[in-house]
């Protein structure tokens, strides 16, 4: 039976920097270098932050639609 991977430890400062870089539009390859984490670790952190309500993941089209509706 496979066990889920143990999440790597992130300090609050690392989480804040990661969220800032996500919001700034860094591509995955940049994020792995900047944060010195694997793509799997970054994916797990996004899921963790999403489950805690600290980030919201939207497609560009969904975001644009929300902006259009809010400006009406």
Q: What is the pLDDT of residues 32-56, one digit of tens each?
A: 999 999 999 999 999 899 899 888 8
- Distance, CA of 21 to CA of 63 (rounded, Å): 18
Give the mean pLDDT of the chain. Answer: 85
1 token code pair: 């039976």
Q: How confident is the model at residue 5 (pLDDT cuts 50, 70, 90)?
A: low
Structural domain includes residue 34: yes
Domain for residue 2, yes or no? no
Q: Are 66 and 58 in contact (CB under 8 A)?
A: yes
CB 44 within 8 A of CB 5: yes
Residue 21 included in any domain: yes
Tell me, yes or no, whether 39 lies in a domain.
Answer: yes
Q: How confident is the model at residue 2 (pLDDT cuts 50, 70, 90)?
A: low
**Rounded CA gap, 30 and 5, in Å?**
23
The answer to whether residue 57 sits within a structural domain is yes
Within a domain: 6 = no
Per the structure, the count of domains in the chain is 1
**Residue 40 lies in domain:** 12-70
Whether the predicted model's global pTM rises above the 0.85 cut? no
- Give yes or no for a contact between 21 and 32, defined as CB atoms under 8 angstroms apart: no
């Amino acid at each position: 039976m496979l066990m889920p991977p143990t999440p790597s430890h992130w300090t609050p400062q690392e989480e804040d920097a990661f969220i800032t870089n996500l919001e700034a539009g860094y591509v995955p390859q940049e994020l792995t270098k900047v944060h010195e984490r694997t793509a799997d670790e970054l994916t797990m952190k996004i899921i963790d932050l999403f489950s805690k309500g600290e980030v919201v993941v939207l497609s560009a089209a969904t975001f644009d639609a929300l902006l259009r509706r809010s400006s009406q």
